Amino acid sequence: MTGDGSGARSPDGGEQRADGGEPRSNGDESRSDGGESRSDGEPLADELRGEQGQADALRDGRGSGPPTPARDVPRGRDEAGLSYADAGVDLDAADRSVALLSGVLERASRPEVLGGIGGFGGLFAFDARRYEQPVLVSSTDGVGTKVELARQLGVLEGVGRDLVAMVVDDLVVTGAEPLFFNDYVSVGALDPDRVAELVRGIAAGCAEANCALVGGETAEHPGLLAPDAFDLAGFGVGVVERDEILGSHRVESGDVLLALPSSGLHSNGFSLVRRIVAGADLEATYGFDEPLGQVLLTPTRIHTADCLALLEAATVHALCHVTGGGLPGNLPRVLPEGSAAVLDVDGWSWPPVFRWLAERGPVAEQEMWRTFNCGVGMVAVVPPEAFEPARDALRARGVEAWRLGVVEPRDHDDPPVRLVGRSAGRR
Q: What is the pLDDT of residue 93?
A: 84
pLDDT-derived band of residue 54, with 50, 70 and 90 as boundaries?
very low
Residue 312 and residue 225 share a domain: no
Please say if the pLDDT value at position 124 is more than 50: yes
Residue 18 and residue 3 in contact, taking contact as beta carbons nearer than 8 Å: no
Instruction: Please tell me whether residues 395 and 288 are part of one structural domain.
Output: yes
pTM: predicted TM-score of the whole model, two decimal places: 0.82
Whether 255 contacts 343, CB under 8 Å: no
How many CB atoms sit inside 10 A of residue 206's CB?
Answer: 31
pLDDT (average), residues 110-139: 92
Look at residue 97 in the predicted model and tell me its pLDDT. 80
Does 164 share its domain with 274?
A: no
Mean pLDDT calculated for residue range 218-242: 97
* 36 within a domain of the structure (yes/no): no
Judgement on whether residues 364 and 234 belong to the same structural domain of the protein = no
Q: Across the chain, what does the average pLDDT equal? A: 85
For residue range 55-106, what is the model confidence (pLDDT) as tens digits? 333 333 333 344 444 444 454 455 678 998 889 888 888 888 877 877 777 8
Confidence of residue 217 (pLDDT cuts 50, 70, 90): very high
For residue 265, the Cα-to-chain-centroid distance in whole angstroms is 16
Does some domain include residue 45? no
Residue 122 belongs to a domain: yes
Q: Is there a domain that residue 234 lies in?
A: yes
Q: Domain boundary at 207, 227, 244, which?
A: 244
For residues 226 and 320, what is the distance between their CA atoms, to the nearest angstrom? 36
Instruction: Say whether both 287 and 350 belong to one domain.
Output: yes
Same domain for 240 and 99, yes or no, is: yes
Based on the fold, state whether residues 240 and 275 are members of the same structural domain.
no
244, 275, 297: which is the final residue of a domain?
244
157 φ/ψ angles, rounded to the nearest 5 degrees: -60, -35
What sign does the dihedral 312-205-176-146 (CA atoms) show? positive
The answer to whether residues 302 and 367 belong to one domain is: yes
On whether residue 343 sits in a domain, the answer given is yes
Domain housing 345: 248-420
Q: Where are the alpha helices (DSSP H) in 233-303?
A: 270-277, 292-296
Q: Specify the number of domains making up the chain.
A: 2
Residues 230 and 322 in one domain: no
Across the range 291-302, mean pLDDT stands at 98
Task: Supply the pLDDT for residue 42.
Answer: 40
Residue 368 domain flag: yes
Q: Are residues 388 and 252 in the same domain?
A: yes
Beta bridge partners of 236: 139, 181
The pLDDT confidence band at residue 425, using thresholds 50, 70 and 90, is low
Antiparallel, parallel or unpaired: β 339-344 and 417-420: parallel
Give 167-215 pLDDT, tens digit per residue: 999 999 999 999 999 999 999 999 999 999 999 999 999 999 999 999 9
CATH assignment of the domain containing 362: 3.90.650.10
Digit-coded pLDDT (tens) for 355-377: 999 999 999 999 999 999 999 99
Nearest Cα residue to 52 out of 28, 33, 37: 33
Phi, psi of 4 (to 5 degrees): -70, 155
- 254 and 149 in a common domain: no
Question: Is residue 167 within 8 Å of residue 173, measured between CB atoms?
Answer: no
CATH number of the domain that 178 lies in?
3.30.1330.10
Q: Is residue 356 part of a domain?
A: yes
| Domain termination site, one of 223, 244, 265 | 244
Helix count and strand count (H, E) for the chain: 12, 14
Query: Are residues 269 and 337 both part of a single domain?
Result: yes
Q: Do the domain assignments include residue 37?
A: no
CA angle 301, 305, 310 (to 5 degrees): 110
Query: Each residue of 385-406: pLDDT tens digit?
Result: 999 999 999 999 999 999 999 9
